[in-house]
Chain A
Amino acid sequence: MKTIINELLHHRNRSRMLSFALIIGSYLIIEFLMHSIRISRLFTSMLVPCCCYIILALSLNLVVGFSGELSLGHAGFMAVGAFTAIIVSGLSAKMIPDPVIRLFISVLSGSILSGLTGLLISVPVLKLSGDYLAIVTLAFGQIIKSLITNIYLGFDSNGLQLSFVTNELNLEQGKMLLSGPMGATDTAKISNFSSGALLIVITLFVIYSLIDSKYGRAIMAARDDRIAAESIGIDILRSKTLAFVASSILAGAAGALYALNYSTLQPAKFDFNTSILALVYVVFGGLGNINGTIIATTVLYVLPELLRSLQDYRMLIYAIVLIIVMQLGSSVRLKRSMEKLKNRFSKKGVIR
């Protein structure tokens, strides 16, 4: 019993528990508020996308923070997950009327396809040492967006129909799934806040399971020192691939959840800006810092939306906040006092 308590109070486990408490606590409070008082639509409409961005940022942190590689195209994986989910959900609407089961299957398909895509692009690239991954993921993000922008996909009683040119599909009472640059135009909205919160919890579970295991240690060892890692038998390519594929699976799930929250979705949503935004969340949250990523994403996502009423000043205020946070974050003196504070709370009873 005593060992279990010690184990739970260990500072690493404490930060693990804090992540779950943060998500589950916020979820319960928000659910309670939504059922007891009237909350503005503005606020409730932000819940699912905020969950998606948290998952996206967490997945990106796996690559950037834990694996030490740069990805500039994570929105591309989100796109793969999103449009796979739209297609799967659209096609299976008749077969699987239950929205919960359909959501589950759509998100699962989206993340699997995204993971396969991640595997496909990472293996050849990670063989090279250097910042090639950043370049290739950047290109991947652009290509996947352009690809989806040019797909027209519909289905009717004759089955699935696909065209890459124009909207020349002759559907007999069928349904368009993808309409080129317009993207998906008539998706059933089956995502909700509960599924978003659950998906974050699953994401946290996956990430913590990974980083606390031998696989996670290998990933972080390969990040800190390639040659030393190899010298003790760690396969760099395998470790980095594992981190990248796990990350693309999670990013795909985020995209799937996101897509099924809107009736219309354009591929342009998942452009370079979204990839960079995710990177900004990760950098502000801290490389390799899970709780920081959750908080930074929430604040940086919600803030500009709330400031929307201030119209023209929105981006200005956003920029000022960014600068302030950046200044504080890199200030040595602040860091030191934070360290001291942290030591006071966490190092009690720990020797040295």
Chain B
Amino acid sequence: MNTPVLQIKNLGIDFGGLTAVNNLNMEVHAHEIIGLIGPNGAGKTTVFNMLTKVYDPSRGTILLNGQDIAKMDTVAVNKAGIARTFQNIRLFQNLSVIDNVKAGMNNQFVYSIADMLFHTRKRRSNEEMIEEEALKLLKIFHLDDLKDTEAGSLPYGAQRKLEIARALASEPKLLLLDEPAAGMNPQETEELMETIRFVRDTFDICILLIEHDMNLVMNICERIYVLNYGMLLAKGSPEEIRNNEKVIKAYLGD
């Protein structure tokens, strides 16, 4: 089998005395949509924060396409191919919808400060390409009509979609989605599932997503990892997870 896009080995992190994640092993392969689920406080978001180097792990290794990301910072990790959304939406509130997406292309289209100042052809052609790409992404999420709206004034569901568009703008190989359907109504969620599959196919990326909406998880994830108290509780296909005694117990509480 090919090297996985993402390989997590014995990952762990302590906050003071609290061990938030411990001994985690995970793999995400090309073209997969993987679910990461677990009760509140299980450590899911913390895993994302370690993958994007918002936090440095205390133990373990993270390999992206076989390359160790230990020495990278958040910016370098993004350049290496990981982009994410946030559980508590973090948009650039005062920028327009389209500028949020354009900001995501900061490293994709390059021109110098001199080009910027003297409005050279290079600046113009790059800005045109940025505009075109940004509109393409907005269309996927049906946000193109709102392109000049301030991001902070968008409805909740649209904000979540815009965050995904912005992450995609940085051309990741692995996309991390932290509760993408939170706050969406059933119809929006249904649409989102379509979009996630569409995005995976058109950009040929793999997606790791955290979600509490079991309908979404069971429908679009090919494999699922279950986290409980920072430890891996179970992994497997949606079918296996649905019928796993330990998982049911963890979710219902005992």
**A227 pairs with B74, CB closer than 8 A:** yes
Q: Which of A221, A230, A233, A351 contacts B92 (CB 8 A)?
A: A221
Q: Contact residue range for chain B? A: 35 or more
A230 CA / B72 CA spacing, docked (Å): 12
Does A272 make an interface contact (CB < 8 A)? no
**B113 pairs with A228, CB closer than 8 A:** no
Question: Chain B 13-46, CB within 8 Å of chain A: the 1/0 string?
Answer: 0000000000000000000000000000000000
**A232 pairs with B145, CB closer than 8 A:** no
Q: A165-173, A211-219, A303-311, A313-321: which lies at the B interface?
A: A211-219
Q: Which of A11, A209, A218, A288 contacts B103 (CB 8 A)?
A: A218
Q: B104-112, B179-187, B191-199: which lies at the A interface?
A: B104-112
State how many angstroms separate the Cβ of A350 from the closest Cβ of chain B.
7
Question: Chain A 202-236, CB within 8 Å of chain B: the 1/0 string?
Answer: 00001001100111011011011101111111110
- Chain A residues 9-61 with CB under 8 Å of chain B are 11
**B78 pairs with A231, CB closer than 8 A:** yes
Does A290 make an interface contact (CB < 8 A)? no
Q: With CB as the reference atom, state the residue of chain B lying closest to A225.
A: B90
Does B140 make an interface contact (CB < 8 A)? no
**B75 pairs with A213, CB closer than 8 A:** no
**A215 pairs with B95, CB closer than 8 A:** no
State how many angstroms separate the Cβ of A153 from the closest Cβ of chain B.
33
Q: Contact residue range for chain A? A: 20 to 34
Does A242 make an interface contact (CB < 8 A)? yes
Q: Which of A209, A220, A232 contacts B117 (CB 8 A)?
A: A209
State how many angstroms separate the Cβ of B178 from the closest Cβ of chain A.
11
Q: Which of A214, A225, A227 contacts B106 (CB 8 A)?
A: A214
Does B200 make an interface contact (CB < 8 A)? no
Does A344 make an interface contact (CB < 8 A)? no
Report B-chain residues with C-beta under 8 Å of the C-beta of A233: 75, 78-79, 106-107, 170
**B99 pairs with A217, CB closer than 8 A:** yes
Q: With CB as the reference atom, state the residue of chain B lying closest to A242.
A: B113
Q: Which of A210, A218, A227, A351 contacts B54 (CB 8 A)?
A: A227
Report B-chain residues with C-beta under 8 Å of the C-beta of A217: 95, 99, 102-103, 106
A206 CA / B169 CA spacing, docked (Å): 27
Q: Which of A221, A231, A352 contacts B83 (CB 8 A)?
A: A231
> Apart from A227-B54, A231-B54, what are 7 other A-B pairs with CB-CB below 8 Å?
A214-B111, A214-B126, A220-B95, A224-B93, A232-B103, A232-B104, A233-B170
Shortest beta-carbon contacts, A-B, top 9:
A224-B92, A228-B90, A233-B78, A230-B74, A221-B103, A213-B116, A232-B104, A232-B170, A233-B107
